[in-house]
């Protein structure tokens, strides 16, 4: 495709107002007041939320960034066609979930939304536009996007770039403000330069890496696979620690001080969650299988297998420790989001732990500072869906009868037989645990899936504390 970069002022459109599109565009608009940024989505209620004081995405510091730019050079609307027409740079930031049906089900990415966007861009565009893949995609998706764009009816021409987003939820604003790097892959030097010029307004040039399209697409999958692999590696060691009496936090510290290994991403946990890790690894596995690289596929798949094992191990330990039955026992669930400082629950380990405990007929009282009740219930129904996407009446009833969502951690723990800490929210470390202990049944079990509670101090109070990869503390009371 030829490059005909317009010398007109930059106007950006972003299709998809989710966890990636919303914060990223808000930051571009904040840093570049002269660039008009229009974020569009088919979901009217999501757009309404972006235009309100209750943003659909909870991220520390995001409200301020949005409020600075909204109404000045940042617009949110459902006018997808108008936004495409007006823009010369179009970001695609729609969701690419794992396919739930058909060929590659459970592994490949569902590219339906990407394809729909590409077709819409082809239909509405005139002149020349730069199309930027922001969503995480399988390698060589740009090829498909390019082919669809070639069918544009009005003689429009396009350059396609890959610009994967590396922000982590909970720290999105900081990650966008000072990223480790920005990656831009593309064939047209002029188009790449046009996007470099946008990020170059606030990011040092030596942090903006440019590559070919395929390297950029593959780098995103690889980065997430490596990060998830670290978590699965330390979680695998946590199981060994529990068997041997070693302490996984001490092991993590000891190995993390080796500068070749480094200290980050070595926190043992109940299992990683989030919309990216599992999806991207499965995507990588599918890609490897497609190219006949079966050993490579199996190698990466093991990261997900280990994560599933970690979640199962945790719920099994709860049941085993509580005298092999949790039936009709009240278990407080502290935290439902997949990590702290986000309201996102996609693939959260909490969903799996709750499912396992519900199957054992436990009564769950769930508290999360940012996740609303409707979202908790919809995630729990989701995990009980069968292959056709149907939730049985029996499971619906189970959730209705056995799940209560409460507005604070104290009421969750009132009259409980056990507490399970599933998200590392800071507020859990500041609770009056004496008060919590007084309200609980004995033995007062605490299962710390994030190793954030002071197990030694809690056991002195009388709690029986079980953490990940650490010796258990039996209460003194
Ligand atoms: C990840 C990547 O970090 C980010 O670069 C990419 O753009 C999107 O995917 P995210 O999923 O938002 O970001 O959060 P991240 O901080 O990576 O955590 C993912 C999961 O791993 C969480 O459930 C977290 O609790 C868990 N985790 C992380 C651990 O259990 N231990 C750790 O040491 C680190
Ligand atoms: P991510 O975490 O990748 O940002 P989200 O699911 O949070 O994913 O956001 C993706 C957004 O993309 C959703 O709000 C969805 O409504 C929107 N979307 C999906 N397909 C289209 C489309 N064809 N046109 C406009 N918006 C779309």
Mean local confidence (pLDDT), 304-314: 98
What is the whole-number distance in angstroms between the Cα of residue 41 and the centre of ligand 2?
7
Q: Are residues 183 and 314 both part of a single domain?
A: no
**Which ligand approaches the C-alpha of residue 91 most closely?**
2
356 CB-near residues (< 8 Å, 6+ apart) = 311, 312, 315, 316, 319
Q: Are residues 314 and 414 both part of a single domain?
A: yes
Q: Are residues 296 and 178 both part of a single domain?
A: no
* pLDDT confidence bin for 187, thresholds 50/70/90: very high
Q: Are residues 207 and 283 both part of a single domain?
A: no
User: Is there a contact between 343 and 337 (Cβ–Cβ < 8 Å)?
Assistant: yes
Ligand 2 atom 5, closest CA: 18
Q: Are residues 203 and 287 both part of a single domain?
A: no
In whole angstroms, give the CA distance from residue 310 to residue 35: 46
Query: Has residue 251 been placed in a domain?
Result: no
Secondary structure class of 35 (helix, strand, coil): coil
- Is the pLDDT confidence value at 475 over 80? no
Mean local confidence (pLDDT), 333-341: 98
Q: Are residues 171 and 309 both part of a single domain?
A: no
Pairing type for strands 363-367 and 330-334 reads parallel
Q: pTM of this prediction?
A: 0.95
Domain CATH number, residue 450: 3.40.50.720
Query: Has residue 236 been placed in a domain?
Result: no
* pLDDT confidence bin for 2, thresholds 50/70/90: very low
Mean local confidence (pLDDT), 333-358: 98
Mark which of 169, 192, 211 sits at the end of a domain. 211
Structure tokens at 476: 């003194």
Q: Are residues 150 and 55 both part of a single domain?
A: yes
pLDDT at position 6 is 47
Mark which of 211, 228, 255 sits at the end of a domain. 211
Mean local confidence (pLDDT), 373-394: 95
- Residues 45-90: pLDDT tens digits? 999 999 999 999 999 999 999 999 999 999 999 999 999 999 999 9
Nearest ligand 1 atom to the CA of 348 is: 23
- Is the pLDDT confidence value at 233 over 90? yes
Percent residues over pLDDT 70 in the chain: 98
* pLDDT confidence bin for 104, thresholds 50/70/90: confident
- Is the pLDDT confidence value at 3 over 80? no
In terms of residue numbers, what domain contains 419?
277-467
Q: Are residues 287 and 201 both part of a single domain?
A: no
Length of the chain in terms of residues written: 477
Any atom of ligand 2 within 6 Å of the Cβ of 135: yes
Residue 63, classified by CB atoms within 10 Å of its CB into exposed (0-12), middle (13-18) or buried (19+), is: middle
Residue with more model confidence, 140 or 356: 356
Q: Are residues 189 and 320 both part of a single domain?
A: no
- Residues 402-440: pLDDT tens digits? 999 999 999 999 999 999 999 999 999 999 999 999 999
Mean local confidence (pLDDT), 384-412: 96
pLDDT at position 392 is 97
What's the domain count of the chain?
2
Any atom of ligand 1 within 6 Å of the Cβ of 268: no
Query: Has residue 110 been placed in a domain?
Result: yes
Query: Has residue 370 been placed in a domain?
Result: yes
In whole angstroms, give the CA distance from residue 415 to residue 329: 10
- Residues 310-335: pLDDT tens digits? 999 999 999 999 999 999 999 999 99
Mark which of 163, 187, 211 sits at the end of a domain. 211
- Residue 70 has phi, psi (to 5 degrees) of -65, 135
What is the whole-number distance in angstroms between the Cα of residue 93 and the centre of ligand 2?
6
Query: Has residue 100 been placed in a domain?
Result: yes
Query: Has residue 405 been placed in a domain?
Result: yes
What is the whole-number distance in angstroms between the Cα of residue 148 and the centre of ligand 1?
33
Q: Which of 251, 238, 226, 356 is nearest to 303 (CA)?
A: 226
Mean local confidence (pLDDT), 277-299: 95
- DSSP characters for 336-384? -SSSTT----TT-HHHHHHHHHHHTT-EEEEE-SS--HHHHHHHHHHHT
């Amino acid at each position: 495709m030829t490059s005909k970069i317009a010398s007109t002022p930059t106007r950006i459109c972003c299709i998809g107002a989710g966890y990636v599109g919303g914060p990223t565009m808000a930051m571009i608009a904040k840093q570049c007041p002269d660039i008009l940024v229009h974020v569009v989505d088919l979901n009217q209620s999501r757009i309404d939320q972006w235009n309100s004081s209750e943003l659909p995405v909870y991220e520390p510091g995001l409200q301020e960034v949005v409020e600075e730019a909204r109404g000045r050079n940042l617009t949110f609307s459902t006018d997808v066609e108008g936004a495409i027409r007006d823009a010369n740079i179009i970001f695609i930031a729609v969701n690419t979930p794992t396919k739930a049906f058909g060929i590659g089900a459970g592994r490949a990415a569902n590219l339906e939304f990407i394809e729909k966007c590409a077709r819409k861009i082809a239909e509405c565009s005139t002149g020349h536009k730069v199309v930027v893949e922001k969503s995480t995609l399988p390698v060589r998706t740009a090829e498909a996007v390019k082919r669809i764009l070639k069918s544009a009816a009005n003689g429009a021409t396009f350059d396609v770039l890959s610009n994967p987003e590396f922000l982590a939820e909970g720290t999105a604003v900081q990650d966008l403000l000072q990223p480790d790097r920005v990656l831009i892959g593309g064939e047209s030097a002029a188009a790449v330069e046009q996007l470099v010029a946008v990020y170059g307004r606030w990011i040092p040039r030596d942090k903006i890496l440019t590559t070919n399209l395929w390297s950029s697409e593959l780098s995103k999958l690889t980065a997430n696979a490596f990060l998830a692999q670290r978590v699965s590696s330390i979680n695998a060691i946590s199981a060994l620690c529990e068997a041997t009496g070693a302490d996984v936090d001490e092991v993590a510290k000891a190995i993390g001080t080796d500068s070749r290994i480094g200290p980050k991403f070595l926190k043992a946990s109940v299992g990683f969650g989030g919309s990216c890790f599992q999806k991207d690894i499965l995507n990588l596995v599918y890609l490897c299988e497609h190219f006949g690289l079966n050993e490579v596929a199996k190698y990466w798949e093991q990261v997900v297998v280990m994560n599933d094992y970690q979640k199962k191990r945790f719920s099994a330990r709860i049941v085993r420790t509580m005298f092999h039955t949790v039936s009709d026992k009240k278990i407080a669930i502290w935290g439902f989001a997949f990590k702290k400082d986000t309201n996102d629950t996609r693939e959260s380990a909490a969903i799996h732990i709750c499912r396992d405990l519900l199957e054992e007929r436990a009564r769950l009282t769930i508290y999360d500072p940012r996740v609303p009740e409707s979202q908790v219930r919809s995630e729990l129904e989701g995990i009980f869906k069968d292959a056709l996407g149907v939730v049985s009446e029996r499971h619906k009833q189970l959730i209705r009868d056995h799940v209560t969502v409460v507005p604070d951690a104290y009421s969750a723990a009132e009259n409980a037989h056990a507490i399970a800490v599933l998200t590392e929210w800071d507020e859990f470390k500041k609770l009056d645990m004496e008060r919590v202990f007084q309200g609980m049944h004995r033995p007062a079990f605490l299962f710390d899936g994030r190793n954030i509670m002071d197990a030694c101090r809690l056991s002195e109070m009388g709690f029986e504390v079980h953490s990940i990869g650490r010796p258990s503390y039996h209460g003194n009371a």
